[in-house]
Amino acid sequence: MAGRPTCAYELEYDGGGSRVRVIGPLRIFYDRLGTRPIRVQLQDEGQPLSDGLLLALFLVLFWQKQSWESAQRSRS
């Protein structure tokens, strides 16, 4: 796709590999049970968020939610 900027962000997972903890410069914090994201922090708060980074955050959190809901349905 010529002319379209591409963006790639490295993902880091927790020790169990079930939760994404970092997306590029964003760190995700979860509640005490570790089931719901409660806060996202930009490493360099002076840096503006790009549309690509916001889209990546949304997609990762949406995918995690879908995965957790699917696991819950299969257990019941």
- Whole-angstrom distance, CA of residue 15 vs CA of residue 52: 26
Whether the CB-CB separation of 41 and 25 falls below 8 Å is answered with no
Closest CA to 61 of 31, 33, 40, 43: 40
In which band, very low, low, confident or very high, does the pLDDT at 20 lie, cut at 50, 70 and 90? very high
Instruction: Please give the backbone phi and psi of residue 58, each rounded to the nearest 5 degrees, phi first.
Output: -60, -45
Q: What is the pLDDT of residue 8?
A: 83
Per-residue pLDDT, averaged over 2-6, amounts to 62
For the entire predicted model, the pTM comes to: 0.77
Q: Is 69 helix (H, G, I), strand (E, B) or coil?
A: helix
Q: What is the pLDDT of residues 30-55, one digit of tens each?
A: 999 888 899 999 988 788 888 889 99
